[in-house]
Structure 1
Amino acid sequence: MDSATHEAALPSRTGFTHALDESYRTVKTDHATGWRRLLAFLGPGFLVAVGYMDPGNWATSIAGGASEGYTLLSVVLASSLMAMLLQALTARLAIATGFDLARACREYYPRPVAMVLWVLAEVAIIATDIAEVVGTAIGLQLLFGIPITIGVLVTAIDVLLILALQRFGFRKLEAFVIALLLVIFISFIIQMLLAQPVWSEVAAGLVPSTRIAAEPALLYLALGIIGATVMPHNLYLHSGIVQTRAYGSSESEKRSALKFAVLDSTIALSFAFLVNAAILILAAATFFKAGAVHIKEIGEAQAMLTTLLGGMLAPQLFAIALLCCGLNSSVTGTLAGQIVMEGFLNIRLPPWARRMITRLIAIVPAILVTLYYGETGTGALLIFSQVVLAFQLPFAIVPLLHFTGSKAKMKTLSTPLIMAVAAWAIAALIIGLNIKLIVDVISS
């Protein structure tokens, strides 16, 4: 059965076309050798990995390393492993059904339920975009001295960059994102080496400590790290961009595609773990060691690096990495927004229009906060955006696990029992911790 016949056979009741239709099945994967085939599938996972190292992750890792040293490295590792499993299930849904998560919700749930899920997904994307706006603006300020408020306005034009990239094809877009990720990775590796961490203490930090559960302040930081790691828009994003690969429609082709797609996301999220770990290690080896345990603002962290490490290399690399994160997040945020809108509503907007709508909505609160509170308010806005994401997360995870556990929908690719039990346990943990995080933030 060819791809077109397979798609016609899908149980669509709403006459959907595919999200990101211009890129659907455009990347050929029919290579004979394993390595060439793996390289053909590499890409979507790295776009997803961008969301695991955004400014929200920076804020929590910096705060965790500054106040607790290497203790919370085990939490960074655990949250990364959780993310790997959830993203693997997202790829499984896409490959087994041909639907992205947004489209699956519209196909399989009553319309009122689907519309509620759509609104929540849009709120999550706007919250994500707020973090991108603030992070990019801080990066522009640290590098070029541009005031935060002006930097927020400058971020509106990044839509032109995305439009230019999409004209060259999806693989070029992926290459751009991976190149920026390499810049981020190299920047933090250099900074970490300049900080000269105690590697035996780093290794000890990877082992879970009973202190994390016993001490409320430490637990709160752990909750923040987990809450900032698994982001709802990544589940929608991954389920859409996996389908840029032309992997065929037979069961053997789907199983092969699933294997390589999971390898792709696992490799990419391992890379994201190394970046987040490097941020925390840098904070522990500099701020915690120097007794600067109250560092929370990203700009404050950059200034302290100048004092503690000397010279300008480390702080400049810090700012460059932050700006790259903002640009990368702009690309993936646009794609996630397209997938959500097209999947839930079957409404198509030009990428520039979609991006401009979400970016303008994000700019307004960012400008108001910076005007009212000044630059010190950006940290509070970042935390608030993470709380919004934490609130929305269950409404993306539960449908994902519901669909992937259904033999009727997934056929032979439904989630194995052990994997399903682990996934529901992780979902329950994440949901519970995020609810606690929301309650703590509201009551604080």
Structure 2
Amino acid sequence: MDGLDLASHCRLLFHNHPTHPRLVRRAILYPLYVCAEIAIISTDLAELLGSAIGLCLIFPRLPLYAGVLLTATDIFIFLFFADPSRGHGRPVRVFEAIIIILVLTVLCCFIVLLVKVKAHWPSVFLGYIPSKDLFHSKPNAIYSAIGILGATIMPHALFLGSFLSTQDRVSLKTPSQEPLPTCSTDHQTFGDRLKRRFKQLFSVSRAERIAASRAYRTEYGERENNSLSFIRQHLNHAITDVVTSLLGFAIPINSAILILAATVYHNRHPLQETVGLFDAHDLIKRNIGSGSALVYAFALVCTGQAASVTATLAGQVVSEGFLDWRMSPFLRRLVTRLISLIPSVAVSVSVGRDGVDTLLVISQVILSVALPFIAFPLIYLTSSAMVMRVVELSDRPSTFSEANEKQELHCEHRSQITPTDSPAATPMQATGSEGVHMELPPSELHPTMAVIGDVREVTAPSFHEGLEYVDFSNSRCVAGIAYAVWAVIVTANCYALIMLFMGRE
């Protein structure tokens, strides 16, 4: 609605709380950020290991630690060419297109495996109906259900999905946003351009810092959301994206994994309770064929690549949103990758296959525990009319955010503004920190802009009863269903953890 993602909204909600701001910040905001970071690192760890195992299955002579290192490196190569955080438009579309190709490849691989496995489909469809046998099966089927739920609704996907949904997919770039060519850049060699690109990886531009500081100046009640026409233009895309991702990819792929495991493994090896990814590959190779085993390994690689890219980018979104941590996206991804890389390499070298399988299980348990903490703010914010309402004025000239952006382009960040005797009739004068004298016409100034010291604070016009709003928040019925699903997830997680601590795996 207002161009902020879920992580930024959490900061806006808890950072400067009207009552006990420090207590709320330390008791809610920072623990929530730590929980999100742990979930993202756990996701990155699992997908890093999965992709590395897939490479080792395709190339049997490749050591496991080498597969881990290769997987950790190729993510940076991908994000070097398709970085959605560095701009709108083409980078976002390239990023989404590559992820779609990877996910489609995974879906096609599992469709091929399902055709070859020849499952008993009447029994398969009966498996979608809940029954008491879930609690009596061995191993307990609740664990599988929780794992599928965590794989379908992963915590990092909530942050990254909200970030991508804020991208402007309609407006075109104005000519002023494009850098003008100069004589020095026209005659640069390939080495100079590569060196400049390398420096940009470790830097954050001033425009990005100003945009970040502007986002947290006002509270929800004083913020003006995007226009109604803007919201409606993007709403169809968001609905199509969510429905297609959930019903077209997530549920079919996770169902295919479960059907494949039940058909190939469960009825043929009743004495062995658990298998890892290596064991699953051996079973598919022995029961279906070498070609199917190769397809399975390739699906592992594509799954790991897609999820690793999204998890790494989600880590950047979370740190910038929760803490306003304006570090280079490349450095942020490097930190996230190293945190998950160290235990992966250590376990793969010291313990081997069995240790990797155990590490995968631990990461999935962490994801299941973290999901309710991440989902609750999303449900709360989307159910709030203050956050989700839009002024019903389609022909207004510009939003408050656009006016505020114009002010930042005219004035330096620490400029002092001195009004004349008649501010309504004469232009205002601004003297920048470097002595640059500028005149700003009254039309460019917002009537509610106040000056405190040498830092300008902009307050949006307060909403009054004369305005009409279109409310996009969840209805009471939808909010009730969302909270009920959230409660079911919490209950299932508590049950699984209790059974795990009791040793009843």
TM over 0.5: yes
Equivalent residue runs for 1:399-438 within 5 Å:
399-411=377-389, 412-438=471-497
Corresponding position of 2:56 = 141
User: What's the counterpart of residue 341 of structure 2?
Assistant: 363
* Cα separation, 2, equivalents of 1:215 and 1:287: 15
- Aligned amino acid, residue 103 of structure 1: S
Please list the CA deviations of residues 287-316 of structure 1 after superposition, one character each: whole Å capped at 9, or x if unmatched.
234235634201110111111013x21000
**What amino acid is aligned across from residue 378 of structure 2 in structure 1?**
L
2:167 maps to 244
**Does residue 324 of structure 2 align to residue 343 of structure 1?**
no
Whole-angstrom distance in 2 between the partners of 1:211 and 1:443: 20
In the aligned structure 2, how far is the partner of 1:344 from the partner of 1:295? 39
User: 1:37-436 counterparts in 2 under 5 A?
Assistant: 96-110=1-15, 111-112=25-26, 113-145=28-60, 146-158=62-74, 159-166=76-83, 169-213=91-135, 215=137, 217-246=140-169, 249-270=226-247, 271-291=249-269, 294-310=273-289, 312-411=290-389, 412-436=471-495
Q: What CA RMSD, in Å, does the superposition of the two structures yield over aligned residues?
A: 2.0
Q: Could you list the per-position Cα deviations for residues 258-286 of structure 1 after superposition, in whole angstroms to 9, with x for gaps in the alignment? A: 34312211111112211111112222222
Return the TM-score normalized by structure 1: 0.74
Identity, in percent, stands at 37
Give the structure-2-normalised TM-score: 0.65
Distance 1:176 1:229 in 2: 19
d(CA) in 2 for partners of 1:229, 1:296: 21
Distance 1:328 1:315, change over 3 A: same
Distance 1:243 1:297, change over 3 A: same
C-alpha separation between the residues in 2 aligned to 1:215 and 1:277?
18
1-structure distance, mates of 2:110, 2:151: 19
User: For residues 97 and 437 of structure 1, what CA distance do their matches in structure 2 show?
Assistant: 38
Distance 1:274 1:141, change over 3 A: same
CA contact (8 A) 1:152 1:363 kept: yes
Q: Read off the aligned partner of 1:250 and give its amino acid letter.
A: S
Report the AA paired with residue 148 of structure 1: L
Which residue matches 2:407? Answer: none
Q: Deviations over 1:55-99 (max 9, x none)?
A: xxxxxxxxxxxxxxxxxxxxxxxxxxxxxxxxxxxxxxxxx3422
Whether the 8 Å CA contact 1:295–1:301 is kept in 2: the answer is no
1:135 Cα offset (Å): 0.7
SS state at 1:408 partner: helix
Greater mean deviation of Cα atoms: 415-424 or 252-261: 252-261
In 2, Cα distance between equivalents of 1:97 and 1:245: 11
**Cα 1:136–1:212, aligned 2, differ >3 Å: closer, same or farther?**
same
Considering fraction of residues, name the structure with more strand: 2
- For residues 367-388 of structure 1, give each alpha carbon's deviation from its aligned partner in whole angstroms, at most 9, with x where no partner exists: 2222332211111111111122
Matched to 2:350, the amino acid is Y
Distance 2:242 2:122 in 1: 29
CA drift at 1:206: 2.3
Range moving further from structure 2, 140-149 or 341-350 = 341-350
| Cα separation, 1, equivalents of 2:479 and 2:361 | 31
Cα deviations across residues 115-165 of structure 1 (Å, max 9, x unaligned)? 222122111111111112111110111011212122222222121222122
In structure 2, C-alpha distance between the alignment counterparts of 1:118 and 1:385, rounded to whole Å: 18
| Long gaps (5+) in structure 1 | 1-95
What is the one-letter code of the residue matched to 1:101? L
Distance (whole Å) between structure 1 residues aligned to residue 232 and residue 476 of structure 2: 17
Point out the more displaced range, 195-204 or 253-262.
253-262
Residues in 1 aligned to 2:275 and 2:381: alpha-carbon distance in whole angstroms: 39
- What are the Cα deviations for residues 323-358 of structure 1, in whole angstroms up to 9, with x where unaligned? 011111122112211211111122233332121111
Tell me the distance in 1 between the aligned counterparts of 2:141 and 2:375.
26
Higher relative contact order (CA 8 A, sep 6+): 1
**Residues in 2 aligned to 1:162 and 1:253: alpha-carbon distance in whole angstroms:** 29
Structure 2 gap segments, 5+ residues each: 16-24, 172-225, 390-470
- What letter matches 1:435 in structure 2? C
1:387-410 deviation per Cα after TM superposition (whole angstroms, max 9, x unaligned): 222222222111112212222222
Aligned length: 348
Query: Counterpart of 2:63 in structure 1: which amino acid?
Result: P
Q: Does the 8 A contact of 2:64 with 2:349 survive in 1?
A: no
Shift of 1:413: 1.3
Question: Which amino acid is 1:436 matched to?
Answer: Y
